[in-house]
Amino acid sequence: MSHTHRFNRELDRVRLRAMLAVERASADPDDEVVARLGHQLVTLEDELADVHEDDRGRLLAWRLGLEDVDLELLWTVVAASIDPLLVTHLAVLGGRDSFRGATLRVHAAIWELTGEQARALAVRLAGAHPLIHDHVLAWTSDATLPTRTLAAAPRTITWLAGDEALDAALLGAASVLPEQDVVLDSRLYESLLTTPAPLVLVEGALDLAVLPAAARKVGREVIALDPRYLTHDALEAALIGLRRECRLREALPLVLHLDDLQRDPQALRAVTAAIATMPGPVAAMVPQRGFALAVSRPTIHVSVDPTTRS
């Protein structure tokens, strides 16, 4: 099953569940329609239960530490954000609010959550939930949690559908560093990439082939962001896009030319704040020794000579 096919089948599942919820909530449910939709749903869910490497939803759940109920919410919100065939059913279940996204109230009806399950999900979303914290999903209203609307970031949708293009906020400012066909000693960087959440400050003109070589050996990519020529608004969007892209792809974020931002304190503060909260290892390139960032995370200084550390 291709990424695109699985994506479409997941959206079909949400739509079938929504149609069932609408029928069951009607004043005079049609038992024949309920039985027919129920049979289609069982067949579809049996198909989707066969998990393979093409299942990006499950892969994302593993990377973000999601529970099954979180993954079901992800698909509800993605479907509400992209599937034109779902709009009418959501409007019946949730009214005009559904035009801005999916609500927990509607999601609970679609997935037939018990009161306890729905409340537990609401409590999880009230905290630092990874789907929100990593910008995979976003709130689109300020109502109470059960009626607040959620939408999926466009890049979340395209990634789940199998698209490899970078987040639009990164275009022109970031790229996936290619792995070059050269022999490099990247053992130091490989060990750093498996260290829990360090900030690696690389001092000097690092050969940009080294990090990708190390990252590939531990199953990762490197996404390099050059923040120098971005406006403040574009920089904020790019930092959000970088975090989201790296979480979706399990890539290593690399910020280039960090020292050049010293002339722009606002930009440096934005980058510093993003680095401070970025999950997993983060790398940044600076030209001189002694450059430091005010971040409360382990920091490792590595010179361009991989045998020297400060």
Q: Residue 194 belongs to a domain with what CATH number?
A: 3.40.50.300
- Kindly state whether residues 93 and 44 are assigned to the same domain: yes
Range of the domain at 221: 170-303
- Kindly state whether residues 243 and 146 are assigned to the same domain: no
Residues contacting residue 193 through CB under 8 Å, at least 6 positions apart:
214, 215, 218, 220, 252, 281
Q: Is the pLDDT of residue 138 over 90?
A: yes
Place of tokens 């599942």: 13
Question: pLDDT-derived band of residue 306, with 50, 70 and 90 as boundaries?
Answer: very low
Whether 290 is covered by a domain: the verdict is yes
Which of 138-147, 245-254, 286-295 has the highest average model confidence (pLDDT)? 245-254
Whether 310 is covered by a domain: the verdict is no
Question: pLDDT-derived band of residue 184, with 50, 70 and 90 as boundaries?
Answer: low
Structure tokens at 19: 């149609």
pLDDT at residue 297, rounded to an integer: 77
Reported pTM: 0.89
Mean pLDDT on 14-42: 91
Q: Which of 125, 160, 195 is the last residue of a domain?
A: 160
Cβ-based burial of 151 (10 A; exposed 0-12, middle 13-18, buried ≥19): buried
Give percent of the chain above pLDDT 90. 52
Sheet holding 137-139, edge to edge: 102-103, 149-152, 137-139
Whether 125 is covered by a domain: the verdict is yes
pLDDT at residue 39, rounded to an integer: 93
pLDDT at residue 307, rounded to an integer: 43
Domain count, the chain: 2
Kindly report which listed range (48-52, 142-146, 155-159) carries the lowest average pLDDT score.
48-52
Q: Is the pLDDT of residue 213 over 50?
A: yes
- Kindly state whether residues 93 and 140 are assigned to the same domain: yes
Give percent of the chain above pLDDT 70. 87
Question: Rounded distance, CA 129 to CA 145, Å?
Answer: 13
pLDDT at residue 294, rounded to an integer: 76
- Kindly state whether residues 177 and 152 are assigned to the same domain: no
Question: Rounded distance, CA 139 to CA 284, Å?
Answer: 30
Question: pLDDT-derived band of residue 310, with 50, 70 and 90 as boundaries?
Answer: very low
Q: Which of 108, 135, 160 is the last residue of a domain?
A: 160
Whether 308 is covered by a domain: the verdict is no
